[in-house]
Protein backbone atom coordinates (compact mmCIF):
# COMPACT_ATOMS: atom_id res chain seq x y z
CA UNK A 1 0.00 0.00 0.00
CA UNK A 2 3.00 2.32 0.36
CA UNK A 3 4.59 4.73 -0.09
CA UNK A 4 2.89 6.90 2.53
CA UNK A 5 2.92 10.66 2.35
CA UNK A 6 3.60 13.12 5.13
CA UNK A 7 0.40 14.01 6.99
CA UNK A 8 -2.48 11.88 8.24
CA UNK A 9 -2.52 8.23 7.13
CA UNK A 10 -5.16 5.74 8.22
CA UNK A 11 -4.85 2.13 9.30
CA UNK A 12 -7.95 0.03 9.72
CA UNK A 13 -8.94 -3.30 11.25
CA UNK A 14 -12.26 -5.07 11.17
CA UNK A 15 -12.89 -7.09 14.31
CA UNK A 16 -15.41 -9.92 14.50
CA UNK A 17 -16.85 -9.81 18.00
CA UNK A 18 -16.73 -13.11 19.83
CA UNK A 19 -17.04 -12.49 23.54
CA UNK A 20 -16.01 -16.06 24.30
CA UNK A 21 -12.53 -15.32 22.99
CA UNK A 22 -11.97 -12.21 25.13
CA UNK A 23 -10.31 -13.07 28.39
CA UNK A 24 -12.61 -12.22 31.25
CA UNK A 25 -15.74 -12.18 29.11
CA UNK A 26 -15.92 -15.89 28.30
CA UNK A 27 -19.09 -16.36 30.29
CA UNK A 28 -20.80 -13.08 29.51
CA UNK A 29 -23.42 -12.76 26.78
CA UNK A 30 -24.07 -9.63 24.75
CA UNK A 31 -27.44 -9.14 26.44
CA UNK A 32 -25.79 -8.99 29.86
CA UNK A 33 -23.47 -6.11 28.96
CA UNK A 34 -24.48 -2.76 30.47
CA UNK A 35 -21.45 -0.53 30.07
CA UNK A 36 -17.95 -0.81 28.64
CA UNK A 37 -15.32 1.77 29.50
CA UNK A 38 -11.76 1.92 28.21
CA UNK A 39 -9.04 1.67 30.84
CA UNK A 40 -6.02 1.81 28.64
CA UNK A 41 -4.91 1.49 25.06
CA UNK A 42 -1.44 0.51 24.02
CA UNK A 43 -0.18 1.00 20.49
CA UNK A 44 2.61 -1.05 18.97
CA UNK A 45 3.97 -0.25 15.55
CA UNK A 46 4.74 -3.43 13.65
CA UNK A 47 7.25 -1.94 11.23
CA UNK A 48 10.24 -1.47 13.44
CA UNK A 49 12.72 -1.57 10.55
CA UNK A 50 11.10 1.05 8.33
CA UNK A 51 9.35 3.25 10.83
CA UNK A 52 9.25 4.10 14.50
CA UNK A 53 7.35 6.53 16.67
CA UNK A 54 9.88 9.31 16.16
CA UNK A 55 8.60 9.48 12.56
CA UNK A 56 5.04 10.23 13.72
CA UNK A 57 3.68 13.46 15.19
CA UNK A 58 0.43 12.09 16.61
CA UNK A 59 -1.92 9.11 16.72
CA UNK A 60 -5.67 9.02 17.17
CA UNK A 61 -7.97 6.04 17.38
CA UNK A 62 -11.64 5.80 16.38
CA UNK A 63 -14.19 3.00 16.54
CA UNK A 64 -17.12 2.50 14.18
CA UNK A 65 -19.61 -0.17 13.16
CA UNK A 66 -22.42 -0.48 10.66
CA UNK A 67 -25.05 0.33 13.24
CA UNK A 68 -23.28 2.88 15.40
CA UNK A 69 -21.61 6.19 14.78
CA UNK A 70 -17.87 6.69 14.72
CA UNK A 71 -16.42 7.75 18.07
CA UNK A 72 -12.96 8.88 19.05
CA UNK A 73 -11.59 6.75 21.84
CA UNK A 74 -7.94 7.71 22.25
CA UNK A 75 -5.30 10.23 21.24
CA UNK A 76 -1.58 10.79 21.66
CA UNK A 77 -0.34 14.22 20.67
CA UNK A 78 2.46 14.97 20.58
CA UNK A 79 4.23 11.63 20.45
CA UNK A 80 7.41 12.01 22.42
CA UNK A 81 8.26 8.33 22.70
CA UNK A 82 10.85 6.60 20.59
CA UNK A 83 10.76 2.97 19.65
CA UNK A 84 7.52 1.24 18.77
CA UNK A 85 5.26 1.23 21.80
CA UNK A 86 3.20 3.93 23.45
CA UNK A 87 0.26 4.29 25.80
CA UNK A 88 -2.51 6.52 24.42
CA UNK A 89 -4.67 9.00 26.33
CA UNK A 90 -8.15 7.48 26.44
CA UNK A 91 -11.57 9.09 26.52
CA UNK A 92 -13.30 8.68 29.86
CA UNK A 93 -16.72 9.32 28.32
CA UNK A 94 -16.98 6.81 25.51
CA UNK A 95 -19.05 3.66 26.13
CA UNK A 96 -18.18 0.74 23.87
CA UNK A 97 -21.10 -1.48 24.90
CA UNK A 98 -22.99 -1.15 21.59
CA UNK A 99 -19.87 -2.17 19.67
CA UNK A 100 -19.27 -5.25 21.80
CA UNK A 101 -22.93 -6.23 21.55
CA UNK A 102 -22.76 -6.16 17.76
CA UNK A 103 -21.21 -8.69 15.42
CA UNK A 104 -18.40 -6.56 14.07
CA UNK A 105 -16.68 -3.24 14.51
CA UNK A 106 -13.77 -1.42 12.90
CA UNK A 107 -10.89 0.43 14.50
CA UNK A 108 -9.44 3.32 12.53
CA UNK A 109 -6.00 4.55 13.56
CA UNK A 110 -4.84 7.87 12.14
CA UNK A 111 -1.09 8.41 12.19
CA UNK A 112 0.27 11.85 11.32
CA UNK A 113 3.56 11.21 9.54
CA UNK A 114 6.30 13.79 9.89
CA UNK A 115 7.77 12.83 6.51
CA UNK A 116 7.04 10.63 3.54
CA UNK A 117 7.66 6.95 4.22
CA UNK A 118 8.62 4.42 1.61
CA UNK A 119 7.53 1.46 3.71
CA UNK A 120 5.58 -1.02 1.56
CA UNK A 121 3.10 -1.71 4.32
CA UNK A 122 2.43 -0.33 7.77
CA UNK A 123 0.88 -2.28 10.60
CA UNK A 124 0.02 -1.70 14.22
CA UNK A 125 -1.25 -3.73 17.13
CA UNK A 126 -3.74 -2.14 19.50
CA UNK A 127 -4.11 -3.64 22.97
CA UNK A 128 -7.33 -2.61 24.70
CA UNK A 129 -8.03 -2.99 28.39
CA UNK A 130 -11.69 -2.52 29.27
CA UNK A 131 -13.92 -2.37 32.32
CA UNK A 132 -17.21 -4.13 31.64
CA UNK A 133 -20.33 -3.75 33.75
CA UNK A 134 -22.79 -6.56 33.24
CA UNK A 135 -25.77 -8.28 34.85
CA UNK B 1 -27.30 -7.86 40.17
CA UNK B 2 -24.65 -5.75 38.43
CA UNK B 3 -21.15 -7.10 38.20
CA UNK B 4 -18.04 -5.32 37.17
CA UNK B 5 -15.06 -7.01 35.67
CA UNK B 6 -11.84 -5.97 34.15
CA UNK B 7 -11.65 -7.62 30.78
CA UNK B 8 -8.11 -8.68 30.15
CA UNK B 9 -6.29 -7.01 27.34
CA UNK B 10 -7.20 -8.11 23.86
CA UNK B 11 -5.32 -7.19 20.75
CA UNK B 12 -6.40 -6.04 17.33
CA UNK B 13 -4.05 -5.79 14.37
CA UNK B 14 -4.47 -2.86 12.00
CA UNK B 15 -3.02 -2.36 8.55
CA UNK B 16 -3.10 0.33 5.91
CA UNK B 17 -5.52 -0.88 3.28
CA UNK B 18 -8.09 0.15 0.72
CA UNK B 19 -11.15 1.20 2.61
CA UNK B 20 -14.14 -0.32 0.90
CA UNK B 21 -15.72 -1.76 -2.20
CA UNK B 22 -16.62 0.56 -5.01
CA UNK B 23 -20.12 1.81 -5.49
CA UNK B 24 -19.82 4.13 -8.43
CA UNK B 25 -22.73 6.46 -7.87
CA UNK B 26 -22.25 6.83 -4.13
CA UNK B 27 -18.47 7.10 -4.44
CA UNK B 28 -18.72 10.36 -6.36
CA UNK B 29 -18.51 11.94 -2.92
CA UNK B 30 -14.94 10.69 -2.52
CA UNK B 31 -12.42 13.44 -3.15
CA UNK B 32 -11.10 16.64 -1.67
CA UNK B 33 -13.56 19.47 -1.03
CA UNK B 34 -13.25 23.10 0.04
CA UNK B 35 -15.87 24.81 2.21
CA UNK B 36 -16.94 28.34 1.22
CA UNK B 37 -14.85 29.98 3.97
CA UNK B 38 -11.68 28.69 2.30
CA UNK B 39 -10.00 28.00 5.65
CA UNK B 40 -9.78 24.21 5.23
CA UNK B 41 -9.82 21.36 2.74
CA UNK B 42 -11.63 18.15 3.55
CA UNK B 43 -10.91 14.75 2.07
CA UNK B 44 -13.84 12.34 1.90
CA UNK B 45 -13.13 8.60 2.15
CA UNK B 46 -15.25 5.53 2.60
CA UNK B 47 -15.00 3.20 5.59
CA UNK B 48 -17.26 0.17 5.36
CA UNK B 49 -20.37 1.45 3.65
CA UNK B 50 -20.22 4.96 5.11
CA UNK B 51 -18.46 8.16 4.13
CA UNK B 52 -16.16 10.28 6.31
CA UNK B 53 -14.42 13.58 5.70
CA UNK B 54 -11.20 14.63 7.40
CA UNK B 55 -9.35 17.92 7.34
CA UNK B 56 -6.23 17.57 5.22
CA UNK B 57 -5.26 21.24 4.88
CA UNK B 58 -5.68 24.35 7.01
CA UNK B 59 -5.10 27.89 5.81
CA UNK B 60 -3.77 28.70 9.29
CA UNK B 61 -2.32 25.43 10.53
CA UNK B 62 -0.84 26.84 13.73
CA UNK B 63 -2.69 28.27 16.71
CA UNK B 64 -1.69 31.96 17.01
CA UNK B 65 -1.78 31.67 20.82
CA UNK B 66 0.61 28.74 21.07
CA UNK B 67 2.46 28.81 17.76
CA UNK B 68 1.88 25.05 17.56
CA UNK B 69 -0.35 23.05 15.18
CA UNK B 70 -4.03 23.60 15.97
CA UNK B 71 -5.75 21.04 18.15
CA UNK B 72 -9.39 20.31 18.91
CA UNK B 73 -9.39 22.57 21.98
CA UNK B 74 -13.20 22.82 22.08
CA UNK B 75 -13.86 19.09 22.16
CA UNK B 76 -16.54 18.40 24.78
CA UNK B 77 -14.41 15.46 25.95
CA UNK B 78 -11.52 17.09 27.80
CA UNK B 79 -9.31 14.04 27.33
CA UNK B 80 -9.46 14.41 23.55
CA UNK B 81 -8.62 18.11 23.27
CA UNK B 82 -5.08 17.42 22.13
CA UNK B 83 -6.37 15.80 18.92
CA UNK B 84 -4.77 17.62 15.95
CA UNK B 85 -7.22 19.41 13.67
CA UNK B 86 -5.24 18.37 10.63
CA UNK B 87 -6.51 14.85 10.07
CA UNK B 88 -9.65 15.37 12.16
CA UNK B 89 -12.82 13.76 10.78
CA UNK B 90 -15.44 16.49 10.79
CA UNK B 91 -17.86 14.59 8.52
CA UNK B 92 -18.97 11.24 9.90
CA UNK B 93 -21.25 8.32 9.12
CA UNK B 94 -22.85 9.43 5.84
CA UNK B 95 -24.92 6.89 3.93
CA UNK B 96 -25.88 7.29 0.29
CA UNK B 97 -29.62 7.25 -0.17
CA UNK B 98 -30.33 8.17 -3.74
CA UNK B 99 -30.87 11.18 -5.93
CA UNK B 100 -27.41 12.57 -5.19
CA UNK B 101 -27.94 12.71 -1.43
CA UNK B 102 -25.95 11.39 1.52
CA UNK B 103 -27.74 11.43 4.86
CA UNK B 104 -27.66 10.15 8.47
CA UNK B 105 -24.32 11.84 9.07
CA UNK B 106 -22.95 14.57 11.29
CA UNK B 107 -20.72 17.58 10.86
CA UNK B 108 -18.44 18.86 13.62
CA UNK B 109 -17.55 22.54 14.01
CA UNK B 110 -14.12 22.74 15.68
CA UNK B 111 -14.62 26.44 16.32
CA UNK B 112 -17.30 25.76 18.94
CA UNK B 113 -17.07 22.03 19.63
CA UNK B 114 -20.63 21.38 18.45
CA UNK B 115 -21.78 18.47 16.34
CA UNK B 116 -24.76 18.91 14.04
CA UNK B 117 -26.92 16.54 12.06
CA UNK B 118 -26.05 16.92 8.41
CA UNK B 119 -27.15 16.06 4.89
CA UNK B 120 -25.06 16.36 1.75
CA UNK B 121 -26.61 17.10 -1.62
CA UNK B 122 -24.50 16.97 -4.77
CA UNK B 123 -25.86 19.69 -7.02
CA UNK B 124 -23.33 18.93 -9.73
CA UNK B 125 -20.21 16.76 -9.90
CA UNK B 126 -18.09 19.49 -8.33
CA UNK B 127 -20.49 21.15 -5.91
CA UNK B 128 -21.99 20.05 -2.62
CA UNK B 129 -24.70 21.62 -0.51
CA UNK B 130 -23.74 20.77 3.07
CA UNK B 131 -26.66 21.36 5.42
CA UNK B 132 -26.02 21.26 9.14
CA UNK B 133 -28.96 21.38 11.51
CA UNK B 134 -30.24 20.72 14.99
CA UNK B 135 -33.39 18.64 15.29
CA UNK B 136 -35.20 19.15 12.01
CA UNK B 137 -33.53 20.02 8.72
CA UNK B 138 -35.58 23.22 8.39
CA UNK B 139 -33.61 24.72 11.30
CA UNK B 140 -30.16 24.82 9.85
CA UNK B 141 -27.61 26.41 7.59
CA UNK B 142 -26.34 25.37 4.18
CA UNK B 143 -22.77 25.85 3.00
CA UNK B 144 -21.52 25.25 -0.53
CA UNK B 145 -18.38 23.17 -0.94
CA UNK B 146 -16.38 22.93 -4.16
CA UNK B 147 -14.38 19.94 -5.34
CA UNK B 148 -10.64 20.47 -5.66
CA UNK B 149 -9.43 19.26 -9.01
CA UNK B 150 -5.97 18.06 -9.86
CA UNK B 151 -4.29 20.35 -12.37
CA UNK B 152 -4.65 18.91 -15.84
CA UNK B 153 -1.51 17.70 -17.59
CA UNK B 154 -0.39 19.60 -20.65
Contacts of A62 in chain B (CB under 8 A): 89
d(CA B19, CA B23) in angstroms, rounded, equals 12
Q: Picking from A48-52, B43-47, B50-54, which range would have the lowest pLDDT averaged per residue?
A: A48-52
User: Which residues does chain B have within 8 Å of residue A21's beta carbon, measured at their own beta carbons?
Assistant: 10
pLDDT tens, residue by residue, A6-61: 888 999 999 999 999 888 888 899 999 999 999 999 999 887 667 788 889 999 99
Spell out where B19-100 has E strands. Answer: 31-34, 40-47, 50-58, 89-96
Does B12 sit within 8 Å of A13, measured CB to CB?
Answer: yes
What is the CA B139 to chain-centroid distance, rounded?
Answer: 21
Asked whether the beta carbons of residue A62 and residue B89 sit closer than 8 angstroms, the reply is yes
Q: Is residue A129 very low, low, confident or very high in pLDDT (cuts 50, 70, 90)?
A: very high
Task: Give B-chain residues touching A25 at CB under 8 angstroms.
Answer: 5, 7
pLDDT tens per residue, range B82-121: 999 999 999 999 999 988 999 999 999 999 999 999 999 9
Task: Tell me the C-alpha distance between A65 and A45, whole Å.
Answer: 24
Dist. CA A33–CA A19, nearest whole Å? 11
Instruction: State ipTM.
Output: 0.84
Cα(A107)–Cα(A102) distance, integer angstroms: 14
Report yes or no: A10 and A109 within 8 Å, Cβ to Cβ: yes
Q: Do A64 and B48 touch (CB under 8 A)?
A: yes
**pLDDT higher than 90, residue B18:** no
Q: State pLDDT tens for residues A67-115.
A: 899 999 999 999 988 888 999 999 999 999 999 999 999 999 999 998 8
Please state the pTM of the whole predicted model.
Answer: 0.89
B123 min Cα distance to partner chain A (Å): 26
Amino acid sequence: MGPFFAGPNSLIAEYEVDLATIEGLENVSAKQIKEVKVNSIKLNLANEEELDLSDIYSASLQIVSGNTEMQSIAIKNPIESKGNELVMDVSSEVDLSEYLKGKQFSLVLDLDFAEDSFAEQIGAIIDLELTVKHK
Amino acid sequence: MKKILLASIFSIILVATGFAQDSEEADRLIGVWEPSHGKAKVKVDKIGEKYYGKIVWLKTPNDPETGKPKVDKNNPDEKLRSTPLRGYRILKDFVYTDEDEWTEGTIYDPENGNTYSCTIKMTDENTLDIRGYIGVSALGRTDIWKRLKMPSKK
